[in-house]
Structure 1
Amino acid sequence: MNRVMPRLFLFCTILLLWPLLSQNTVWAACTDTEESLRTYITSAKSPLDPIEGIWSLTYTRTIYDSSGKQVSRKVHQDLFRVGIKRAGALFDGCILTASDAKLVGRGIGQFQPTSTPGAYLFKLAFLPTGASAKAVAGITSKRLLSFVIAVPKEQVKHEMGDKYDNNQITTSYQLLRLFPLSKGGAAGVLSGSGFAIAENGMIVTNSHVVNGATRIRVKGVEGNFSRTYSARIVAEDARNDLALLRIDDPGFSKFSPIPFGVRPQIAQIGENVFVLGYPLRASMGDDIKLTNGIISATSGVRGNLTMYQISAPIQRGNSGGPLFDAQGNLIGIIRSKHSEAENASYAIKATHLVNLIETLKDRFPLPEQNAVAGKPLPEQVAALRQFVFIIEAFR
């Protein structure tokens, strides 16, 4: 029995991964080894794309019944080492090491770059049904490449056979970068949010979004996402996780009049608030996202008085975005969320932004006129979104 179980486990593992490994002949077997890929990376004369490298693959397979209720969920940890390398305009994925030698050298598919840095379109075909599926794969600041495949109905029917009853199957893939690593342990582009604070091109974001960046880009100015602007750091307050940027680009003149005011006075528990930003762009896209809630506490983690706790949900990518009160006044800057609590997010109080601006040699006046006060939320968002931007920090 003890000899049979490892073989049975290996068989089941291959069966579950078969849809990813057995794609049609568009993606041929690869010849790279871990050694040859390391040589390619270390000897590259031009900058590598963030997706190029060696990754450890983990996947989670979840089955749901016809009502959408989860029936089973299995996590398969660190099964393979996968190499990803440029092949023309695309990037080939290849299994470098696996417990089953027969899987080594198999292609796992191709990744196509998108207009969003760190986001790639992954497409695969399932055998024997021929059904296909697409997913957006995104690289995060924590060295993860992740994507979720919704298995097509034809394939689910084939895999479940007589047990099929309008079931659904999703497979969530996470690849952890093993090589190369930057000094900070992360590679590629970090995407956050930011907002205009003065017509002369001054922008607010979090220090952790831009600290250490070799290049900073701003997207979404006046709602135009096809145009990007270069920016530089003017001032930082690392203790309070704040940074002031200024657009430094010959194509930029100035922002339109800023429609919100800044409210440095402390908000009260129970006040309604809302957040604008660009979270999880790789999977959620570049359209601005609105979440709302209340001030849950006038202190942050461990009673930190520099922050608010709010119930408005935030995600990775919201960092540096604005927190508004019900009248559209800026009262905070989004910083983080609690990883172990529901609906517990944190924002730096606006008074610390005011203090940072006052330390500048070339101080500028804060927005004073609130043009959105008293308007319905949709009208407020329509006006404010033109001044909330995507911040891309290249490392």
Structure 2
Amino acid sequence: MKRSVLLLLLILLSSIGFSQNGNEPESSIIHIIRSNAIIGCAADAIIEFQNQRPLDLPWKTQIDYKIYSTGNIMVTSDWTMVDRIDQVTLNIESNKEYYLFFDKGDISQVEGPEEIQKSFDKIKRKFSYKESLEFPINRSSIVQNKKGPSQGTGFLVNNEGYILTNHHVVDTAESVKVIGIKGEFSIPVTARVVAVDESSDLALLRVESKLVSFEKPPYNLLNSDSVIKAERVFTLGYPMQSAMGSEVKITDGIINSLTGFKNSISEYQISAAVQEGNSGGPLFNSNGELIGIVSAKISSDVADQVGYAIKSNYIEDFLFESGVTQFNKTDAKLAGKELSEQVESISNFVYIIKTN
């Protein structure tokens, strides 16, 4: 069975994807038991859930799979001896247990272990796995069950208080707070979501408090058509803030490709390392010009330092279509400066975005 591993292991860099979320959603357990039948006992069996890594199911083995997604969930089995593929759909609800039985290439749901007592009693091995919250089976169902705050990154568009981040950072948020304005991390400031584009994964926020003022950011928005492969880039953000602290973090690398995931023309592939909480962080070229916004990466289990960023032209189109605001027009003020000088100039315009 062909496995699109890269497709399955794409990770969004934000909540329930790739921002930090300290509380697990509600879950259920799927028990998957393989028959003790001698026929085909030496043949490998593979169990697959959408967007997850394939699981080996050897003879006389039980898998206990912790699942956070709810709704209709398809489970696929692949009996490699005869290349036999079978599927079953479970209607998953939170806080319940489900049983699947794999027997000579067929997978089916059973009510409980008593239906398969003979095989259940002869289990020799048990393995426990859980659904990846970085790229879940059914994202929308987990967002509905999500508990606790999540966190990403955002950056200032202009001195009118508009801030850009990813749509998935603020999706379903009841409240949005911005932290780090002018280097102040002790006082969160409320922001309002004023425009979103789910297809481009972009969201525009605005801080409207009269107690907060903004300066014009030092970076300009560069046309992404001028970006070339292999040029140096860097990004700023707040990855894994609970462990790494609230000081803005820089990572640098190159443009690996001018197309993104599955040849998407709206993204670059980048080598700059990105982690949980980097969603919505700005991507700059060596002149300190804004060329994109960080959004996702490939799991390090598959490939090291492969991330994606939405191109600046899509940012400009999004802001234009919103009819609300645009980037301040400015010259490339940071061109020719050392990287350390550029980072120092930009840092106070990159913020922590926290949602509830």
Q: TM-score, normalised by structure 2?
A: 0.60
Q: What's the RMSD between the two structures over aligned residues?
A: 2.9
CA contact (8 A) 1:197 1:367 kept: no
In 1, Cα distance between the equivalents of 2:275 and 2:354?
16
Residue 305 of structure 1 corresponds to 265
Residue 255 of structure 2 corresponds to 295
In 1, Cα distance between the equivalents of 2:143 and 2:281?
27
Residue 224 of structure 2 corresponds to 265
Q: 1:54 offset after TM fit, Å?
A: 7.8
Q: 1:232 offset after TM fit, Å?
A: 0.8
Residue 330 of structure 1 corresponds to 290
The correspondence for 1:362, drawn from 277, 302, 324, is 324
User: Is the alpha carbon distance of 1:249 and 1:331 closer, same or farther for their aligned partners in structure 2, counting shifts above 3 Å?
Assistant: same
Residue 219 of structure 1 corresponds to 179
User: Is the alpha carbon distance of 1:250 and 1:265 closer, same or farther for their aligned partners in structure 2, counting shifts above 3 Å?
Assistant: same
The correspondence for 2:343, drawn from 376, 381, 393, is 381
In 1, Cα distance between the equivalents of 2:285 and 2:166?
20
Residue 242 of structure 2 corresponds to 282
User: Is the alpha carbon distance of 1:185 and 1:365 closer, same or farther for their aligned partners in structure 2, counting shifts above 3 Å?
Assistant: same
Question: Is 1:341 matched with 2:316?
Answer: no
In 2, Cα distance between the equivalents of 1:203 and 1:257?
12
SS of aligned partner of 2:222? coil
In 2, Cα distance between the equivalents of 1:374 and 1:242?
30
CA contact (8 A) 1:309 1:347 kept: yes
User: Is the alpha carbon distance of 1:257 and 1:363 closer, same or farther for their aligned partners in structure 2, counting shifts above 3 Å?
Assistant: closer
SS of aligned partner of 2:243? helix
Deviations 1:132-178 (A, max 9, x none): xxxxxxxxx939xxxxxxxxxxxxxxxxxxxxxxxxxxxxxxxxxxx
Aligned-residue sequence identity (percent) comes to 38
Question: Is 1:202 matched with 2:193?
Answer: no
Residue 8 of structure 1 corresponds to none
> What amino acid sits opposite 1:294 in the alignment?
I
CA contact (8 A) 2:316 2:326 kept: no
Structure 1: any 5+ residue segments left out of the alignment? Answer: 1-48, 57-76, 79-140, 144-180
SS of aligned partner of 2:242? helix
User: Is the alpha carbon distance of 1:359 and 1:327 closer, same or farther for their aligned partners in structure 2, counting shifts above 3 Å?
Assistant: same
Question: Is 1:142 matched with 2:133?
Answer: yes
CA contact (8 A) 2:25 2:142 kept: no
The correspondence for 1:256, drawn from 193, 215, 222, is 215
> What amino acid sits opposite 2:223 in the alignment?
P
Structure 2: any 5+ residue segments left out of the alignment? Answer: 1-20, 29-62, 65-131, 135-140
> What amino acid sits opposite 1:346 in the alignment?
Y
CA contact (8 A) 2:297 2:306 kept: yes
Q: 1:257 offset after TM fit, Å?
A: 1.9
SS of aligned partner of 2:144? coil
User: Is the alpha carbon distance of 1:243 and 1:53 closer, same or farther for their aligned partners in structure 2, counting shifts above 3 Å?
Assistant: closer
255-264 or 205-214: bigger deviation: 255-264
SS of aligned partner of 1:335? strand
Q: 1:370 offset after TM fit, Å?
A: 2.8
In 2, Cα distance between the equivalents of 1:386 and 1:367?
19
In 1, Cα distance between the equivalents of 2:181 and 2:308?
25
CA contact (8 A) 1:196 1:204 kept: yes
User: Is the alpha carbon distance of 1:352 and 1:259 closer, same or farther for their aligned partners in structure 2, counting shifts above 3 Å?
Assistant: same
SS of aligned partner of 1:352? helix
Residue 54 of structure 2 corresponds to none
In 2, Cα distance between the equivalents of 1:328 and 1:271?
13
Where do residues 209-248 of structure 1 align in structure 2 (5 Å cutoff)? 209-248=169-208
In 2, Cα distance between the equivalents of 1:214 and 1:341?
35
Q: 1:183 offset after TM fit, Å?
A: 5.3
In 1, Cα distance between the equivalents of 2:149 and 2:175?
10
SS of aligned partner of 1:332? strand
Q: TM-score, normalised by structure 1?
A: 0.54
Aligned residue-pair number: 231
Residue 31 of structure 2 corresponds to none
> What amino acid sits opposite 1:378 in the alignment?
S
Q: 1:277 offset after TM fit, Å?
A: 0.2
SS of aligned partner of 1:371? coil
